[in-house]
Amino acid sequence: MEIYVDADACPVKEEVLKVSYRHDLVVHLVSNAWLRIPVGENVKKVVVSDGFDAADDWIVEHAGADDICITGDIQLAARLLEAGAVVLGHNGKPFTTDNIGMALAMRELKSQLRDMGEDRGFNASFSQKDRSRFLSALELAVQKGLRR
């Protein structure tokens, strides 16, 4: 089991590293630019081209059924679920085969509303509660993965 992080805009990189160090897991921080974050030896910083979906494509090509993936990108989450990976959003809520359809539909609806000027794209700020929920969810996912 390894952890893959869609790292460019990920607000929980520190939490991922904390859990990975605790369990001695390999982490892949995948981004379009070099990340200035100190890491241990089991952390692989992967810099991909700045092409459209380059980081997403790299993660999908490398993540497998026993891996945990962290992303806020709903379309990437759907692709990873098809590959059998466990997928967590930045707020700790899991993407599952049961909820991904609704998440994709809501993403499309919000996109259409923004295009029509009906939605200004307001997103609530990332809170300490979100960070704590994520940390707990990741720990739970790792524990479950280690029992497989």
Q: pLDDT for 35-86, tens place per residue?
A: 999 888 999 999 999 888 899 999 999 999 989 999 998 999 999 999 999 9
pTM across the whole model: 0.87
Residue 28, Ramachandran bin (φ over 0: left; ψ between -120 and 50: alpha; else beta): beta
CA neighbours closer than 13 Å in the CB half-sphere of residue 4: 27
CA separation for the pair 115, 48 (Å, rounded): 30
Percent of the chain whose predicted confidence (pLDDT) is above 90 = 66
Contact (Cβ atoms closer than 8 angstroms) between residue 95 and residue 89: yes
